[in-house]
């Protein structure tokens, strides 16, 4: 039976009102320009769990050093690698286990991506994923929007709604990384794939930038967040982490405390 597999990747940053990214008004751009403009905002995350190496991605949400990523990519002995070669031991600001989102902080601010809107995405439109697949370093993959308003269910029987589906290559290490539209603007955070083999199958899912904008301020303030959810149709197969070690415990998160 097919499985939806949560990838290792991604970071999004929460912001105070003065530090939030500007809204996108750019024109469509070439892939080379999109990567050169966004890659400095993306980070690679390395840690360990159960003696195994764990890889993930993330990106700066604001100019205060906040990085957003998925909880499931975080183990112990965490190191954040910036695109300019700097590396830091990050602080964990907080996390929301219901949505597998964590916010880290480092003493750096290399720039943030302009926020776009998932509401104007169309099926067939080009999108790009930047992340750290298999720990090889910051990389770009290209695909299209394959579907909108998708619903998946996690291993803890929580449903995630309104996800963007893409066929851009997503592999372990990509989770937490940004999904970017054809203008080079942030539209989501790569979080899961549908795959029987833990590798890219052309069926990936990203949380939308609007969902992140609801959840991250509550993480920064220490409040529990409740995201507006679309009732959607029946959920697809249950989501499980793609890991290089045991599945993390999302209720207590002993691996990241």
The answer to whether 237 is a known catalytic residue is: no
Round to whole Å and give the CA distance between 241 and 76.
Answer: 17
Residue closest to 159 by CA, chosen among 207, 195, 198: 207
Tally the C-alpha atoms within 13 A of residue 137's C-alpha that lie toward its C-beta: 4
Could you give the CA distance from residue 132 to residue 3 in angstroms, rounded to a whole number?
22
CA distance 168 to 112: 22
Which one is catalytic: 39, 62, 81, 100? 100
72 is catalytic: yes
> Of 57, 175, 195, 236, which is the active-site residue?
175
In angstroms, the CA 23 to CA 114 distance is 6
Q: How far apart are CA 154 and CA 175, in angstroms?
A: 15
Q: Give the residue numbers marked as catalytic.
A: 72, 100, 175
């Amino acid at each position: 039976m097919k499985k939806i597999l949560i990838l290792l990747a991604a970071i999004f940053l929460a912001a105070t009102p003065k530090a939030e990214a500007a809204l996108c008004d750019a024109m469509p751009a070439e892939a080379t320009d999109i990567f050169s403009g966004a890659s400095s905002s993306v980070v690679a995350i390395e840690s360990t769990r159960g003696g195994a190496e764990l890889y993930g991605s993330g990106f700066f949400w604001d100019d205060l050093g906040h990085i957003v990523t998925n909880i499931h990519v975080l183990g112990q002995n965490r190191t954040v690698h910036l695109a300019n070669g700097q590396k830091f031991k990050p602080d964990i600001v907080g996390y929301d286990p219901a949505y597998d989102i964590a916010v880290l902080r480092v003493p750096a601010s290399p720039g943030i991506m302009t926020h776009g809107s998932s509401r104007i995405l169309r099926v067939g439109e080009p999108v790009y994923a930047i992340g750290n697949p298999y720990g090889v370093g910051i990389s770009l993959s290209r695909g299209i929007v394959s579907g909108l308003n998708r619903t998946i269910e996690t291993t803890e029987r929580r449903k995630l709604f309104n996800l963007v589906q893409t066929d851009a290559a997503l592999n372990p290490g990509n989770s937490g990384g940004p999904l970017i539209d054809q203008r080079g603007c942030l539209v989501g955070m790569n979080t899961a794939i549908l795959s029987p083999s833990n590798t890219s199958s052309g069926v990936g899912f990203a949380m939308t930038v609007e969902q992140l904008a609801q959840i991250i301020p509550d993480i920064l303030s220490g409040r529990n967040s409740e995201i507006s959810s679309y009732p959607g149709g029946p959920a697809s197969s249950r989501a499980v982490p793609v890991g290089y070690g045991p599945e993390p415990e999302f209720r207590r998160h002993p691996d990241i405390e």
